[in-house]
Amino acid sequence: MGPLHYSNGLVSRLTFSWLNPLIALNKRRPVEASDLPCFDNHGYECENLTEKLDSEWHREKANAERNARKPSMWKALFLMFSFQEYATLCTLMLTYSVTKTAIPYMLYCVLKELSEPSPQTNAALLLGAILCLYAGIESTCQTYIKYRAFLFAMRVRTALCGVIFKKVGVWGRVMATGYFNSPGNGSKKNVDISILNEKFFWRMR
């Protein structure tokens, strides 16, 4: 069986049914890395995330230096993601809040209609259908809010780890050159370590 592919279909994405083959496969044998879905999205690759955060951090440091303020890591992380991603998440959160607030009111309307001496069956059925629809929308929004929040967290963690390892690698290469152990650099052994850190080791603020 070849690797699975992430589906772009609306129903498949809403219900996460694109994971069903993977669940069925897990019933027959343990799942391996080659069985995991292929997202085919370069935005989730560690190298791209690392370069994106590194670029945003350097841009933030340059802006902070021009404006005479401290650079903000939070701002660099925030600028890693597109406006569309934030708009999608905010839309989901707003829809979830609206439906969550409307469900008790719709339930009240259904119960009020049923408690009437001569209840209107069609009206009660319509209100009940709307109530079920709102409940479904609320559940779907809640699931996708968590799903997208986990995606945000995964990319932030990957980018941070990638940048840290990148900077640590640069530091290791500097130390491996034996610069401070060279006979001619005796006067440089007492160089301020903060200057070296500023040039070769990325400081998170």
Give the model confidence (pLDDT) of 75-115 as tens digits: 888 888 889 989 999 999 999 999 999 999 999 988 888 88
- Report residue 43 as tokens: 């935005």
Secondary structure of residue 38 in the 3-state scheme: strand
Partners of 38 in beta bridges: 5
How confident is the model at residue 191, as a pLDDT? 43
Q: Is 37 left (phi over 0), alpha (psi -120 to 50) or beta?
A: beta
Question: Which one-letter DSSP state was computed for residue 179?
Answer: G
Indicate if the alpha-carbon torsion angle 28, 13, 16, 153 is positive or negative. Answer: positive
Task: Determine the straight-line distance between the first and last CA of the chain, rounded to whole angstroms.
Answer: 47
pTM over 0.85: no
List the chain pLDDT tens, one digit each, 205 residues.
334 445 566 777 777 777 788 888 888 888 787 777 766 667 777 888 888 888 888 898 898 888 888 888 888 888 888 899 899 999 999 999 999 999 999 999 888 888 888 878 888 899 999 999 999 999 989 988 998 899 889 889 988 888 888 777 655 555 555 555 555 444 444 444 444 444 444 444 4
